[in-house]
Amino acid sequence: MALEFACFDVVLAFAALFGLAAFFTLRCRVHSALSPLVSLCSISLVLAAAGVAGVLRPAVWAVYLVCFVLGAAALWQKRQDWKALCTPGAVLFWAMSAAFAVYFALRQPLFTDFDEMSFWGTAAKLTHETGGLYTVAPVSWPWQATQSPCLITLGYFVQALGRYGDWKVYLAYDMLAFACFAALLGRVEWKQYRLAVPLAAVCWCVPYFFTTYNHTIFLSTVYLSAYGDIPSGLVLGGTVALWLALREGEGPRWPVLPVLAFSALIKSNTFVLALAAAGLVAADWLLTPGTTPWKQGLVRRIGFAAACFAAPLAAYRGWGRYTLALALKNAESGGMGETSPDVVTVAINGIRMILGLPVGDYYEARRSQFYTACSDMLHQYLTSDGTLSMIGQGVVVTGLILALFFAAWLVAGQRGLRVRIGLFALFSSLCFLGYNLMLALSYGFIFKPFQAERLEDYNRYVYTYYIGWFLIALALVGLALRHAPRLDLLGHAGVLALATVMLLRVNQMVLPQLSVLGFSDAEFADRQIQQSRAEAVAAVTDGARLFYVYQGDNGLHWFTATYDFYPQIVDYSGDGGGTFGLESLRPGEDTVEGYYFHPYTEAAFAALVQSTGCEYLYLDKVDDLFRESYGGLFSDGLAAARQGETLVYHVDSLGHYSPVEMEVP
């Protein structure tokens, strides 16, 4: 397929986004460095709402149309103001987004990580292929997908009018990151390039700096990932930076509201981060009115502060009600109807437990799990066992961030600004404590015991906050340096030194050939093999439902096959990946085969296949255990599969399996 046809949808998405951003800047007086973030979040929210309403496909056409019309009208009517579109932040966003679009279009990176297959990537593909939200897409998952939608709809926006591609999802995430960086540059002007360039360099390093703690020997997936953890942190920082820049100028304040609502729906745990951001914005607006007397306009300030909380709350509650209804419906139709305990309920009961008040049986039974998680988290935070960043464990990172707040306070030339910086430092520290409490509550009362025991994925949950917290401090440094700083030269030199040290450290830890800027084509060799096998199987199975076998799978291959074949359905196939065999041949418990072992007798296996209604079996990987257990069900005793002549067996009406002739890649 010619590159230009593969990319026309991305070009259209850029044009639509530019139209909306131009409209916000020229007609609504939103600074051009801030309008990309506001536009991306607004579009994503609208598409999420349309998805909930079941009108995603028409809505995306409408969004494009509205963006084009608003943009064209604004650009024509305000053509004398075009200069306002060209600011350092805006140029940073558009130049980096365009460069990454071209780069990714040429390099075509693919999803490889587990959760990209088990949710993020697959949800993006389901949404694109069906034109409806992934929550209602026909797929063989027996559980209800209820994860938050905004990153998925963002990925959909970038490629809604064209062919699906993994790289376009990466591009959408990176555009969001660049929009946050642009917001952090905020109202920096061209003549302040000596501040803008180091700030941009620091921003570029941030996702590496707080997520990488070893010299990389494998590909670093920073800027090449569909996970939501880094974007969540960037949006937390970006939201506060956006607010600081909005408040700095004469323009409207409302653009922070869609960004707050968006941040509540990035991941399930980002609601807390959205509330933290809302709290910081509201406190700043309420407590430090600037030069006006405190009582003047108090009601309006209170109203806006309330709106800051209402925006994420409404988005979160709305999504919660939608997914609850879906889960109940799913349960009625035979699927799993369970959802995790509600975060708010967990928080109330967890705090009651800390205060020594009585709690229900569910929480009482998990008391030791909760306190053990608290103790383990503290250990990780304080000791080198918990090293998670390029400078060490959490306590060191906290020290760096607080030092940055102190630096901002030191260089700020106005008393009012110093008070604001102090309040941001204080409240963001309190939010950090609150976020940790939420993590502890999650490990205590939501996670399974074995997950809590090893603090599963603790690093990526906690570095989200560090990223956001650091960006908040950095944005304040930038703000302080732009307003008659007391230590002008020293402050600028400090930012430059910070950029230099961070770049040096990133270059030490992440080799160019193992980063987004120089990855090898071979990184995706395995995925390309899987895709070519899927294409070959799809060619001989005519869209029929497939029963999937991959002996030794831990679920990843099943998720990957589900993803690769879609819209062709790969059946849940017993337990969504694992090893089939007779009970008498059960592998050792300490092996992957043993851990994900599904014992079926020959008759039970045949009945299972029959019950799924699958017309074909896709034998991605069979072993001696499978052959010995079920070889009798296959007309050739699995000889063709063993000799590599086929991957597919046809299931006839009598339940016999016969090999299908095909080209095996």
Partner 1 sequence: MSRLRKIKAPIPLLCYGVCLIGFLAVCLWHFAGDSLARANGRLAEAQMTAGDFVLAGLEQQADGTLVTLDGDPQMIWENPDGRAVRTLRVEASYSDEPREVCLYYTNRAGEDFSQDKRVFPQKQADGSYRYTLPYGAIASLRLDPCSPDMNKSIAITLGAVTMNEPAGAGSYFVPSWYQCFCLILYPGLAAAALSLARQAWKKRR
Segment 216 to 235, residues that bind partner 1, using CB under 8 A: 217
CB of 414 to partner 1, least distance (A): 21
Question: Of residues 170-199, which lie at the interface with partner 1 (CB under 8 A)?
Answer: 193-195, 197-198
Closest to 466 in 3D by CA, of 282, 227, 206, 274: 206
Q: By CB under 8 A, name the one of 302, 365, 517, 539 that touches partner 1.
A: 517
| Angle, alpha carbons 451-456-459 (nearest 5°) | 160
Closest CA to 491 of 565, 409, 550, 546: 409
- What the block records as the tokens of 342 is 């509600």
Q: Which of 24, 64, 181, 204 binds partner 1 (CB under 8 A)?
A: 204
Q: Using the rule CB under 8 A, which residue among 303, 518, 594, 637 binds partner 1?
A: 518
Q: Contact between 521 and partner 1 (CB under 8 A)? A: yes
522 binds partner 1 (CB under 8 A): yes
Which run of H or of E encompasses 625?
helix 624-630
User: Does 489 participate in binding partner 1 (rule CB under 8 A)?
Assistant: yes
CB 366 → partner 1: shortest distance, Å? 39
**Measured between alpha carbons, how far is 496 from 502 in angstroms, rounded to an integer?**
10
Q: Give the C-alpha separation, 47 to 45, whole Å.
A: 5
Query: Which position among 368, 375, 500, 601 is part of the footprint of partner 1 (CB under 8 A)?
Result: 500
Beta-carbon contacts of residue 128 (< 8 Å; ≥ 6 apart): 155, 156, 159, 160, 164
Q: How far is the CB of 600 from partner 1 (least distance, A)?
A: 24
Nearest by Cα to 258 from 438, 421, 24:
24
Backbone angles phi, psi at 549, to 5 degrees: -130, 120
Question: End-to-end alpha-carbon separation of the chain, Å?
Answer: 20
In the complex, least distance from residue 512 CB atom to partner 1, rounded to whole angstroms? 4
Does 513 help bind partner 1 (rule: CB under 8 A)?
yes
Residue of 297, 512, 543, 594 interacting with partner 1 (CB under 8 A) = 512
Contact track, partner 1, 82-121, x by CB under 8 A:
---------------------x------------------
Distance CA 484, CA 414 (A): 8
| 527, two tokens | 């995925």
> How big is the site for partner 1, counted in residues (CB under 8 A)?
31
Does residue 3 bind partner 1 (CB under 8 A)?
Answer: no
Confirm or reject binding of residue 493 to partner 1 (CB under 8 A): yes
Residues in contact with 378: Cβ distance below 8 Å, sequence separation at least 6, in sequence order: none
Give the 3-state secondary structure of residue 321. helix
Q: How far is CA 292 from CA 281, 283, 416, 421, in A?
A: 18, 16, 11, 18
Q: Considering only 155-163, 296-304, 314-322, 485-493, which stretch makes contact with partner 1 by CB under 8 A? A: 485-493
**How far is 562 from 560, CA to CA, in rounded Å?**
5
Q: Is residue 520 a contact point for partner 1 (CB under 8 A)?
A: yes
Q: Specify the stretch interacting with partner 1 by CB under 8 A; choose among 2-10, 146-154, 517-525, 581-589.
A: 517-525
Q: Kindly state the smallest distance separating residue 523's Cβ from partner 1, in Å.
A: 8
Three-class secondary structure assignment of 18-38: HHHHHHHHHHHCCCCCCHHHH
Smallest distance from partner 1 to CB 105, Å: 13
* Minimum distance, C-beta of residue 324 to partner 1, in the bound complex (Å): 44
Q: Which residues bind partner 1 (CB under 8 A)?
A: 103, 193-195, 197-198, 200-201, 204, 215, 217, 489, 492-493, 496, 499-500, 503, 511-513, 515, 517-518, 520-523, 525-526, 529
